[in-house]
Amino acid sequence: MRWEGEIPSLSDAACRNAKAGDKPAKIHDSGGLYLFISLAGGKLWRVDYRHQGKRRTASLGAYPGVSLAAARKARDDLKSHLSAQLDPAQVKRQEKRTKQALAANTFEKIAREWFAAKVPSWVPSYSDRLMSRLEADIFPPLGRRPIAEIEPPDVLEAIRKVEARGAVELAKREMQVVGQIFRFAIASGRAKRDPTQDLRGALKSPGRPQHHRAMPRDDLPGFLRALDAYDGEPMTKLALKLMVLTFVRTGELRAARWAEFEGLDGPEPLWRIPAARMKMRFEHLVPIAPQVVAVLQDLRPLAGRNPHLFPSPSKEGFMSNNTMLFAMYRMGYHGRATVHGFRGMASTWLNEAGYNPDWIERQLAHDERNEVRGAYNSAQYLAGRRQMMRDWADFLDRAVATA
């Protein structure tokens, strides 16, 4: 922009060669812009202007950090604010506050706020795993950046690194988590859009979902016989027996504690799994059949004084996630069934046998969308479920006898 009646007199060479003198000096450009040279030799860009009848001076930065071209652009921006009846000093303060807010609202800061808001509804194992993934995969490339400045290619670059490890399904889940964090930022006024919405279809397809393979019913008698003859670790053998008898989730069984069992010497023994260990954060009651009590009696000497049913020197302190699965592999069931699949097998048999579907769903501890109802249902149908679990255990005994 050329200012009427003025000819820019400054050049980069003149700025570089300007020296300090006996007193501060000014080397003028056009439009009120000048380079102020202090006694110490510092070179500062300033521009004089008038607003509401008062003469004012704005500082635009130091040379050579702010070049001559950048100083002229800053001067032109200031003049544009004046033309719009805006106070340049007020505009500058607002820009400074905006930059500070952006710098404070980094992706990691918002992500940890979102995590803190959500974590009460998650089991510890899930929340720990989720935060570990964020810290390993997402925070390094995105964590320090202002969340409002992150664009779709930035997110895609971070997620592609996960995908490149062959973790295609994990990459998809992490993309979903990132989207949830952005929507949390939008709701709290710290972002305007969710860049993951522009990335639909950008990731590799995870392929056909691999569900937990349930054992065909015809294979059950042979499996139970093979389990009785299993010559591996006795604790693993008993864990598999409890898995088949109770069909709880593997994580609920592996982390089980002796303190959770009640009335083992009485007529109505019960396993009370606390809400903190349940996927849906509701206490789960498992009526215990006599066959389960017998397995627990065999297990007790192996566990000793340890509070866990299946103690281990591992970091978790109890049986690892793959111990039972590898035992099934040794028994010849690799690719034929999974540990988790016993839940599906039990559900199929109980439904076909005509048991109340509500009993079965409650025994499986499936998602209860109504929290009040879910908390109440931890004990609901307990009498019916107790008989149902005894019938299931008796069915397993008959399956072994007819194998």
What number of CA atoms fall less than 13 Å from residue 193's CA on the CB side? 10
In our burial notation (b when 16+ CB lie closer than 10 A, e otherwise), range 274-309 reads: eeebbbbbbbbbbbbbebbeebbeebeeebeeeebb
Q: Is 376 assigned a catalytic role?
A: yes
Pick from 200, 201, 189, 185: which is nearest to 142 by CA?
185
Q: Which of 99, 366, 373, 398 is catalytic?
A: 366
- End-to-end, the C-alpha distance of the chain in Å comes to 94
Q: Is 279 assigned a catalytic role?
A: yes
Alpha helices in 123-274 (DSSP H): 124-133, 139-142, 152-164, 168-187, 220-228, 234-246, 250-254
Q: Is 81 assigned a catalytic role?
A: no
Pull the structure tokens for residue 161. 């690194």
Q: Which of 254, 340, 385, 386 is catalytic?
A: 340
Give me the residue label for tokens 């710290």. Answer: 190
CA distance 125 to 251: 9
SS3 content of the chain, % helix, strand, coil (to 5): 55, 10, 35
Q: Which of 79, 237, 254, 343 is catalytic?
A: 343
Q: Which of 28, 279, 281, 308 is catalytic?
A: 279
Q: Which of 249, 254, 277, 284 is catalytic?
A: 249
Q: Is 366 assigned a catalytic role?
A: yes
- Helices and strands per DSSP (H, E), number in the chain: 17, 7
Catalytic residue numbers read 249, 279, 340, 343, 366, 376
